[in-house]
Structure formats: structure tokens, C-alpha cells
Chain A
Amino acid sequence: MIMPGSAGETAGLLRRISRTPLSVMEVCGTHTVSIFRSGIRSLLPPTIRLVSGPGCPVCVTDQGEIDAAISLLEKGAIVVSYGDMFRVPCARGSLSSKRAEGYDSRIASGAMDALTVALENPEKEVVFLGVGFETTSPATAVLVEETAKRKVSNLSVLSFHKMTPPAVKLLAQDPELGLGGFLLPGHVSVILGHDPFAFLPRQFGLPAVIAGFEPDQILFGLAEIVRQHESGVSALRSVYSRAVRPEGNQKAKAALERVFEVRDATWRGLGVIPASGLTLGKKFRAFDAEVRFDITLSPGTPPPGCRCGEVLTGRITPPECPLFRTKCTPASPVGPCMVSSEGTCGAYFRFFKGDRS
């Protein structure tokens, strides 16, 4: 019985079967980091160009959205957010720098932490910053439903959740990018299942493979993309069957349906993508921070010279941005790609040998 092999074996196979140049987009920021951390790049043949996509929810959170969160801090609310968002800057600072100024921003490791904070601080308004894609939005949905059920009136949710397939579609249809395949996010697919990405082979003739985050998973996924490319076929396959069911997680999807409505969203660096964002539905208006605090979101303007948009869409690599490592470093990030630990520029800066000179 031949079992799927180890990372090393898979890398070897991949190098043997890859003959023609191929650009593969790995959509998910967690894939970006895992690829760098495990040194996969150093094992790939020169025929393969790995392009990092906009699947870093922190990176694509528009400055206007962070600005809105900061304005709530300044109104005296406690803002609870996942750690990933803490250092992302907008013109007025970040949740981290505002904490240094004495405002009350706090870190959650789980969505329900916000409810705990609200119950412990009944005299204050508490706002949960919902950021993330489909892996994360169901947790926010449960938080909203429980908050409503228990009538915790001092808690509200600021939802900047976004949807992955619309962004992937935008990139798939861009002829300039010349993408030949997609490595799809394993945990988003746990929720969504196979169907939402089936347009990649069906409509665009592009190989698309769902993979988990361990190096052997990523290499197996990449190898399958290369196999399809070299064989002139395209299909949606999954190498993460231990976690991803083809129909996805129905309970999670149902929670999303009950709680959220789809709206247009501004993706930092990509502009407005129609029907790509989630906002609280009418039934939960009372717990929507945008309603409660009368917030109007205005898209932020990128800082001068910032080319995060081109990095996020894989048009340029970080070293091709003139600000990379000069004005834009983890110490003083200009754009979100450098701030987030899984932003492409942050990852390149920390892990990549190739461009250090």
C-alpha cells in the first residue's frame, strides 16, 4: 500500500515533475508564514513561482476600519480584538499605541473573551472587533447570538469580516497576474467546503488544491497543482480530507446565515470588492457597533509610496517595493503587509535569505 509521503519525499517528487514555469498563488496568510517558517521555498525548483495573495485579514483591513475602532476607544469604550490586529497602524495610530496612551484596548484569544470582559465591566461599553475570514466569522456569529440571548446590553460587535472567494475570483480573472494555480486555505475550506472555489477550474481552467498548514500538506498540495499543470488538466482537489468535508461545516454556515448579511467591503490595497464583507443582519442591529455608535466607514488613503496593494495581489514581491527594508520595516511599518506577522512583507523580512545584500 503506497501511503502519502513525508515532506522531504513530496518535495523530491515535486522537483521531478515540474518542467514548465508555473505561478501559484497561496491565498492564505497562514500558508505564507508556514511556507517561510518551514523553509519550503528553498526546496522548490526554479520553475515554480509562489505568489502570496490577500488572505491575510489583518493586511486587508482598511485603515478606515481601524480608524473606526480607535474612535471607539477615544469614546471610552473597551475594544477587544485578536492579537493580530493590535499593531496595525492607521493615520491615528494602532490599538497598541492607543493603549500606550492610556486607552483600554485588550487582546482576546477567543471570541467569547469579549463577553467575559463585558460581564466584568457592566458600566462600560465593550466592543469586539470581528476581523477574519470564514474560519473566524462563525465564532463571532456565536458571540453575537449569545450576547443577544443573554441580553448583555453593553457589548457590541464591529464586524470587518470578509469573504475569501470574491477576492480569489478577482485575482483569478486578472490576466496580468498570469496565475497558473491556487493553493487554497485549508481552514476556510473546513467551513465552506469545496464548492465556493469550484469556479477556479470550471470557469478559469485553473488547478485549485485545498491544503492544510503543516509542511507535508503544503508540499502535497503544491505537487498536485504542478501535476495538474503538467498534465494539462484543472480540477478542485483537496489533500486535507482529514479536516475538510466537501460540503463544509453546515452548522457554522447556518450560524453565519442567521447572524450576518453580505455587503460590499473595502479591502486595503484592492479597493472595493462587491459582496465580499459581512455585517450584522437586521435582527442583531442592536448589537452592531456601527449602528450603536453611529459610525460611517470612510476608506483610508494609503500612505505615500505604499505598494501593499500590489504585494497583496501578487503583482510585486516585497523586495520590489522601494520602501521595503528602507522606510518600511517591522519597527516602522508603512503598510499592513509589514505589520502583520503573516503579512507577506513581514514574512519576507523575517525569514527570507534570498534578497539580503
Chain B
Amino acid sequence: MCLAVPHTIHEILDENRALAVAGAVRTEIRTDLIDTPATGDTVLVHAGFAIEKLSLSDAEELIQLWDELRSLAGDDHAG
């Protein structure tokens, strides 16, 4: 139910539309569902709509989860 592909916004066309690129594919997307779309933003696109902006790095939370996993597996912690 969830095929959504990361795109980078190349140009804002108007309040609801932008030109975005995914790899070599250029496409016009709707931006009605996200706040303040800007050139350079990476967004998830589904059914022609940006549904969220992607942040580029995994949060601290994930690093902590990974830590917990390794600790359960009995791995040593490294620096």
C-alpha cells in the first residue's frame, strides 16, 4: 500500500506544484501535503504527491536501538 519514492525538489512551480527528480526521472509533483517545500528538499512521493520531507540521517534513537540489539546478542561495545 506504500510505494513511495524519494525525490529531490529542483524547482518550486507554484504553491501546490514542484519539479522533482528521482535518479534520472524528472516529474511534476503536488506539494499540498507538506509544509514549506523548498528547492533541495528530499521528499517521499506517492501517487504524485509529496507526503513527507525526509531527514537525511538516522536519529539518535536508532543508534540506541542498535546498541540494545547488539547488547542482547552479547556483542562487545566498541568506541
Contacts and interface: CB of A to CB of B under 8 A. Distances in A.
A191 B77 CA distance: 36
Interface string B43-76: 0101111011011111101110111111011110
A65 to B, nearest CB: 16
Contacts, number: 140
A81 to B, nearest CB: 12
B1 interface: yes
A112 B61 CA distance: 37
Interface residues of B, number: 38
A138 interface: yes
Interface in A174-232: 185-188, 190-191, 213, 220, 223-224, 227, 230-231
Contacts of A301: none
Contact of B4 (A5, A135, A231): A135
B57 A242 contact: yes
B1 A188 contact: yes
B21 to A, nearest CB: 16
Contact of B51 (A28, A138, A241): A138
B69 A187 contact: no
Contacts of A2: 63, 66-67, 70, 77-78
B3 A30 contact: yes
Interface in B1-15: 1-4
A242 B51 contact: no
B47 A187 contact: no
A224 B65 contact: yes
Contacts of B63: 1-4
Q: Which of A57, A111, A190 has the most CB of B within 10 A?
A: A190
Give chain A's interface residue range (CB within 8 Å of chain B).
35 or more
A190 B44 contact: yes
Interface string B32-51: 11110000000010111101
Interface stretch (A248-256, A330-338, A348-356): A248-256
Contacts of A111: 47-49
Nearest to A145: B32
A29 interface: yes
Nearest to A111: B47
Nearest to A251: B33
B72 A17 contact: yes
Contact of A13 (B3, B4, B46, B73): B73
Nearest to A113: B48
A107 interface: no
A213 B6 CA distance: 12
A10 B72 CA distance: 13
Nearest to B43: A243
A142 interface: yes
B78 to A, nearest CB: 7
A243 B51 CA distance: 9
B51 A252 contact: yes
Contacts of B54: 242-243
18 contacts: A4-B58, A4-B63, A13-B70, A28-B1, A138-B49, A139-B33, A142-B33, A185-B1, A187-B46, A187-B51, A190-B51, A191-B51, A220-B62, A227-B69, A243-B44, A243-B54, A243-B55, A255-B32
